[in-house]
Amino acid sequence: KQEVTQIPAALSVPEGENLVLNCSFTDSAIYNLQWFRQDPGKGLTSLLLIQSSQREQTSGRLNASLDKSSGRSTLYIAASQPGDSATYLCAVPHASGGSYIPTFGRGTSLIVHP
Amino acid sequence: EPEVTQTPSHQVTQMGQEVILRCVPISNHLYFYWYRQILGQKVEFLVSFYNNEISEKSEIFDDQFSVERPDGSNFTLKIRSTKLEDSAMYFCASSESGAGTDTQYFGPGTRLTVL
């Protein structure tokens, strides 16, 4: 059974800092890994999806890397802004009954203060 | 940009009552999902649906739950007799295909409060 762990659970930083959020998973036979953002009381917004054959993906100030063999992914946020404050979730899907069902981590709650 | 929509945004009900949560997936998507997130807990998979059938369900999705695609646009989750522990955010998602390489797009959620 896939287990997904995210460290740290919470992070509070001043504006402008570069950040690294960590995600680890126990079963390295993955299809992809996805990072989401969740604002308080809201739904999930997909940030980046890294296919199992890829090492990293970039979108603006976000960069996600994937190391399948060690079961790790990192989300790097450059020059953080107060608008980046949210919970960041990583999810790893597994094949089941014709569907690909993601297992989510608990998330890293990020606060960027001005 | 197309998005998944859900109604209502907040539902309050009495224990033992039936509730129906509604979702409108993205129009060209073929796979539909329901998830729940109990306050402070992980997002948990409930059920996936394709071609008018359940393709996968978790152990949470017991006989009190059912899903339906009553027309060409809506996708519903029914909870037959709600319990206190059903209080959670319920998210609908859809994807174009069921491939492991595909992205699921999530709706904003329905907060269900069972009193």
Residues of chain B with C-beta less than 8 angstroms from the C-beta of A102: 45, 104
Residue A32: list chain B partners with CB under 8 A.
Answer: 100-101
- Rounded average pLDDT over A93-97: 72
> Measured between beta carbons, which residues in chain A are less than 8 angstroms from residue B89?
41
User: What dihedral do alpha carbons B20, B24, B28, B33 form, nearest 10°?
Assistant: -50
Question: Is it true that the peptide bond before B2 is cis, omega within 30 degrees of 0?
Answer: no
| pLDDT tens figures, B27-51 | 989 999 999 999 989 999 999 999 8
Average pLDDT of every residue of chain A: 92
Task: Identify all chain B residues contacting A96, using CB atoms and an 8 Å cutoff.
Answer: 56
Choose from B106, B110, B112, B113 for mutation: most chain A CBs within 10 A: B106
Separation in Å, CA of A23 to nearest CA in chain B: 14
pLDDT of A40 strictly over 70: yes
B25 shares contact with chain A (CB less than 8 Å): no
- When pLDDT is cut at 50, 70 and 90, the band that residue B1 belongs to is confident
DSSP of A28-77: ---SEEEEEEE-TTS-EEEEEEEETT-SEEEETTEEEEEETTTTEEEEEE
Question: Looking at A76-90, B1-15, B90-104, which range is the least confident one?
Answer: B90-104
pLDDT at A37: 96
Name the pLDDT band for A31 (thresholds 50, 70, 90): confident
CB contact under 8 Å between A43 and B44, yes or no, is no
Mean pLDDT taken over chain B? 92
Please name every residue paired with A99 in a beta bridge, in sequence order, or none if there are none. A96
CA atoms of A4 and A35, how far apart (whole Å)? 12
Contact (Cβ atoms closer than 8 angstroms) between residue A5 and residue A102: no
Query: Is residue B47 a contact partner of residue B38, using CB atoms and an 8 Å limit?
Result: no
Residue B44 at interface with chain A, using a CB cutoff of 8 Å: yes
Q: Over pLDDT 70: what percentage of chain B? A: 97
B55 vs B65: CA distance, rounded Å? 15
